Amino acid sequence: MHADIVDLRQFYHSMLGHVAEQSIAMALSSLWQRLPQERLVGLGYAVPYLDRFRSDTERTFAFMPAGQGAVNWPVGELSATALVFDEELPLPDASIDRVLMVHSLEYAENPRETLKEIWRILAPGGRLVIVVPNRRGVWARMDHTPFGSGRPYSRGQLTALLRETNFTPGASAEALFFPPSKIRTILKLRSNFERVGRLLWPAFSGVIVVEAQKRLYQGLPVAARASRRVFAPALAPQGIPTTRDRAKPAWRAMPHSTK
């Protein structure tokens, strides 16, 4: 079950969410410095982090899963947001240079199919960065933040999943070493927790950040995959029988004898 878009937005507007964003942004900056003239897609709720990269990119899109909901982004400009099904992204093959997944993989109904779809849209040599809750960390055990829901991963599980879906895992980083507390005193000590945590307990970070590169191989033709999901309006008519249909005698519906 996806986190709701309203809850995600409220979290990042809070003081705890703002500090968490800064911590994760530092980890992302260690993996991606600049993206000159590249095409970037954020999948999930990556809006707080896309603002840091979009100034260098050729174009940037924010794809938000249908189960989560979407908000307009960027604010005050033409919308670059799309409501999508993460196993069938509305992009042609090899059309994107970078993909950033935040609040996405842990909620995916079928993580392998989602990563295969990302492999499809990435250009040769394209790169993917995934931010997921660490199953060993405290943040995955607290449900008052978005990192406390969904399916957390260990580094080994995430690496194995990437290799199964034809990605080569590369550089990695950690973030959120401070406890997910709303107490201002603890939040002010966030930089101290981050510095000491990277040295003493890196395996217990709140999130794992992993970069992977699309791995090319000789593909074999396969049949087109049929969609398993059909979206319909919530108020679509359901074909309820009318009173006249219910009152019709049973013998009128029987076929006439030919004798």
Q: How confident is the model at residue 222 (pLDDT cuts 50, 70, 90)?
A: low
| Percent of the chain whose predicted confidence (pLDDT) is above 90 | 68
Q: How confident is the model at residue 218 (pLDDT cuts 50, 70, 90)?
A: very low
Tens digits of residue pLDDT in 24-43: 999 999 998 778 889 999 99
Is the pLDDT at 214 greater than 70? The verdict is yes
Q: How confident is the model at residue 6 (pLDDT cuts 50, 70, 90)?
A: very high
* pLDDT value, residue 230: 54
CA distances from 192 to 29, 177, 196, 205, 221 (A): 19, 9, 6, 14, 53
Mean pLDDT in the chain? 87
Is the pLDDT at 259 greater than 50? The verdict is no
Is the pLDDT at 198 greater than 90? The verdict is no
Please choose, from the candidates 94, 79, 76, 88, the residue with its C-alpha nearest in 3D space to the C-alpha of residue 43: 88
Residue 65 pairs in a beta bridge with 84
The position carrying tokens 């979407």 is: 70
Tens digits of residue pLDDT in 105-143: 999 999 999 999 999 999 999 999 999 999 999 999 999
Q: Average pLDDT for residues 60-75, to the nearest whole number?
A: 93
Picking from 79-88, 162-171, 187-196, 215-224, which range would have the lowest pLDDT averaged per residue? 215-224
Q: Choose between 35 and 149: higher pLDDT.
A: 149
Question: What's this model's pTM, rounded to 2 decimal places?
Answer: 0.83
**What is the topology classification, in CATH, of domain 5-229?**
Rossmann fold (3.40.50)
Q: What is the dihedral of CA 23, 28, 29, 31, to 10 degrees?
A: 140
Residue 126 and residue 95 in contact, taking contact as beta carbons nearer than 8 Å: no
User: Residues with Cβ < 8 Å from 98, sequence gap 6 or more?
Assistant: 32, 35, 38, 39, 40, 41, 57, 126, 127, 128, 129
Is the pLDDT at 240 greater than 70? The verdict is no
Q: How confident is the model at residue 8 (pLDDT cuts 50, 70, 90)?
A: very high
User: Which amino acid, 133?
Assistant: P
Q: Where are the domains of the chain?
A: 5-229
Picking from 34-38, 110-114, 202-206, 245-249, which range would have the lowest pLDDT averaged per residue? 245-249
Q: Choose between 206 and 251: higher pLDDT.
A: 206
